Structures are given as C-alpha cells and as structure tokens.
C-alpha cells in the first residue's frame, strides 16, 4: 500500500493522526478563526454572517440561518440545503462529510460528531482517531441537546426528540427519541391536526 497522507486516511475512514499532523492542524486553526469571527458579529450584520458561512462550508443553499455560537473543525466537509436553520451552540466535528438536506431545523445545543477514538487505549493515547460521514435528509427536525454520532444517517421527514443520542441510522417519517435513540412511532396524518391553528379552534 502506498504511503497516504493523514488527510487521505481521514477521508477513507481509516485511523489517522489529527493532532500531530501540521496540515490538519492548520486547517482546523483556519476554521476556528473563521468561526471566531462569525460568533463576534452582531445580529444586525446578518448578510456578513451569511457570507462567512458560504466561504467556510463546502456547499450551502441560498436561504439559511445559523445562530451563533457555531463551531466546526474544518468547514469544507459541511453541506447544507435550502432553508437550513440551527439555533444557538451548534457543533459540527467534520473530519468526514456532514450533509444536511432541505428544510432541516436544529434546536439549541446540538452536536454532529464524525470523529471518534479507538477503544484500544494504546491507539487512543497515540492520538489516533477515525471519521465516518453523517447524513441528514430533507424536512428533518432535531430537538435540543441532541448528539449525532459517527456514521449515522437520518431519513427524510423525521423528528429526533430532545436529548437523544443517535448512534444508529434512523429511517424516514418517524419520531425517534432516547439514549440510544430508537424509533418511537411513525408520523401520521393525525399529526397534522395535533396543534391548534387559530384562536377559534
């Protein structure tokens, strides 16, 4: 096998050295500098904030809003669709790609972590880690204080309940909740009438 860079190993889901590799360290420092600038801007400079995210992310839609504070590792591995919204304190550790579809709503204090560490203590203490991609479909609502772990896919039209730790794939069209996160039930037509739509109802 030919010699691979640590970044190439990262992209292939292999163990890689994130903490001792100068190139990856510089990329993270750049992203964190951009995040710092973003988080210092006042709400009145919304367009400037939007331009920063377009510069940082690999792909964005035209319409999105990310409330500060926001933090990520690299930025270029993050892709968001149209009408993306995240509330305060979103953290994305994007050693691998993190992809969000259209109309994704994320509540406060959520984390999406592609990065993990070996269970073996010797490998872990060597500073090695791995990164597996995360994919979130269209029309997904993620409640507050949710953690999404490496390698997870969340299907379209799904709701993840607050406080969940999502360790495995979640299908489309369901409500899922818990630690570890499990499917609670399917979303049905009855859910359209669950909430009052006017004062006259």
The pTM for the full model equals 0.94
> What sections of the chain are H helices per DSSP?
6-11, 22-40, 46-56, 121-125
Cα distance between the two ends of the chain: 68
- Does residue 169 form part of some domain? no
Asked whether residue 196 is domain-assigned, the answer is no
Query: Do the domain assignments include residue 56?
Result: yes
Q: According to the model, what pLDDT value does residue 193 have? A: 84
Overall number of domains in the chain: 1
Positions annotated as catalytic residues are 117
What tokens appear for 90 in the block? 């979103």
The answer to whether residue 64 is domain-embedded is yes
d(CA 102, CA 62): 11
Give me the half-sphere count of Cα atoms (radius 13 Å) on the Cβ side of residue 92.
27
| Closest alpha carbon to 79 in 120, 138, 16 | 138
Q: What is the mean pLDDT of the chain?
A: 95
Domain holding 99, by residue range, is: 6-159
Tell me the per-residue pLDDT of 169-192, one tens digit each, with 9 for 90 and over.
999 999 999 999 999 999 998 898
Q: What is the pLDDT of residues 127-153, one digit of tens each?
A: 999 999 999 999 999 999 999 999 999
- 140: CATH: 2.160.10.10
Q: Is residue 15 part of a domain?
A: yes
Is residue 184 one of the residues assigned to a domain? no
27 domain residue, yes or no: yes
């Amino acid at each position: 096998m030919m010699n691979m860079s640590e970044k190439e190993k990262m992209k292939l889901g292999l163990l890689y050295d994130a903490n001792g590799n100068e190139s990856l360290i510089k990329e993270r420092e750049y992203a964190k500098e951009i995040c710092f600038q973003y988080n210092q801007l006042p709400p009145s400079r919304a367009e400037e904030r939007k331009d920063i995210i377009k510069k940082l992310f690999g792909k964005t839609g035209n319409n999105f809003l990310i409330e500060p504070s926001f933090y990520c590792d690299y930025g270029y591995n993050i892709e968001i669709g149209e009408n993306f919204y995240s509330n305060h304190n979103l953290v994305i550790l994007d050693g691998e790609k993190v992809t969000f579809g259209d109309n994704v709503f994320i509540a406060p204090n959520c984390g999406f972590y592609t990065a993990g560490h070996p269970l073996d203590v010797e490998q872990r203490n060597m500073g090695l880690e791995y990164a597996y991609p995360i994919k979130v479909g269209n029309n997904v609502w993620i409640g507050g204080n949710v953690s999404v772990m490496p390698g997870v896919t969340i299907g379209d039209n799904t709701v993840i309940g607050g406080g969940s730790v999502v360790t495995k794939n979640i299908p489309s069209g369901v409500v899922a909740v818990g630690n570890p996160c499990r499917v609670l039930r399917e979303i049905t037509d009855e859910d359209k009438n669950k909430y009052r739509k006017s004062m006259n109802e």
